[in-house]
Amino acid sequence: MTSLMITAFILFATTVYARGWLLVRAASVGIIPAWRATSFLLGLLLTWIAVASPIAALDGRMLTAHMVQHLLLMTFAPPLIWLGAPVLAMWFGLPSARRLFLRPALQKLGGILGHPVFCWLAATAALVTWHVPAVFRLGMQSEAWHLLEHASFFATGLLFWWPVVEPWPARSRWPRWSMLLYLFLATLPCDVLSGLLVFSDRVAYPMYLCIPHHPGLSALEDQQCAAALMWMCVTVVFLVAGTVLSTQLLSPEVHSPTAEAV
């Protein structure tokens, strides 16, 4: 039932975005290029794969599958969604009067929630808290807590990537080079957690000891595989993001067409 609700919500979000994007394209070609729309849809697809596809059912049997869910919800889907300029696409679907009324509220909210310190702390807190064995077990034993776990990973993932991508209506109040430090510091809790799980000689989450695993893969090996996957994916994604930011910093400033549009 939960999977059906999530699928329905993702389809609804896709429909609303597509309508707004078509209106934007009709009004002014180029404000939201097709690659951004593709990025948004890919982000939604990865979100659906993480929480509503048949693959999601494997998280109760393998820690590696569980880690794939977390990576999709926190590391891969959020930046793709923000790169799609979702707020701008839906913004243009609103009447002009409503846009004028909502714009100050959106910018104020973005200024509060988009502060790098708040975003970093929120994402780190979610990552560390849900990997504490007692809390992890609670999420695995209760469907409601499991849903809350996924929701918190996705929400804090969106928060984390907000100051990095800076989707409209975000307005940077800090030097862009500081995002390189922001990304570097974000790797530290992931490195510590991954290292503890990779080099541990005991299973951190005993519930996986009682579950049949893939042939040839023990619970400890599954744990090490999951930790190595997180270590590698986070490092690569953050390195790519840092490279893109560095390239932008070293390139001449390019005027953003979305700024003129609103």
The identity of residue 96, as a single letter, is S
Q: Is the pLDDT of residue 110 over 50?
A: yes
C-alpha 239, offset from chain centre: 16
Q: What is the DSSP string of 26-64?
A: HHSTTSS-HHHHHHHHHHHHHHHHHHTSGGGGGGGT-HH
Torsion angle defined by CA atoms of residues 210, 212, 218 and 220, in that order, rounded to the nearest 10 degrees: -40
Q: Is the pLDDT of residue 261 over 50?
A: no
* Range scoring the smallest mean pLDDT among 57-61, 191-195, 220-224: 57-61
Q: Is the pLDDT of residue 64 over 60?
A: yes
Pick from 23-32, 214-223, 247-256 the range whose average pLDDT is largest: 214-223
Give the other-Cβ count within 10 Å of 220's Cβ: 17
Closest-CA residue to 74 (of 84, 82, 85): 82
Q: Report the distance separating Cα 120 and Cα 157, nearest Å.
A: 10
Residues shown for the chain? 262
Q: Report the distance separating Cα 180 and Cα 169, nearest Å.
A: 21
Closest-CA residue to 79 (of 194, 226, 188, 179): 179
**In the block, which residue shows the tokens 């596809």?**
53
Q: What share of the chain is helix, strand, coil (3-state, %, to 5)?
A: 80, 0, 20
- CB 244, CB 82: distance < 8 Å: no
- CB 10, CB 52: distance < 8 Å: yes
Q: Is the pLDDT of residue 108 over 80?
A: no
Structure tokens of 9? 């919500």
Q: Report the distance separating Cα 212 and Cα 209, nearest Å.
A: 8
**CA end-to-end span of the chain:** 40
Closest-CA residue to 27 (of 89, 81, 83, 113): 89
Average pLDDT of every residue of the chain? 85
pLDDT digits (tens, 9 = 90+) for 160-214: 999 999 887 666 778 889 999 999 999 999 999 999 999 998 999 988 887 766 6
Confidence band of 97 (pLDDT split at 50, 70, 90): very low
Whole-angstrom CA distances from 125 to 57, 63, 186, 223 are 25, 20, 11, 21
Kindly state the average pLDDT of the residues 214-226.
84
Q: Is the pLDDT of residue 24 over 50?
A: yes
Whole-angstrom CA distances from 156 to 55, 59, 79, 130, 162 are 22, 20, 12, 12, 10
**In the block, which residue shows the tokens 């807190």?**
125
pLDDT of 25: 79
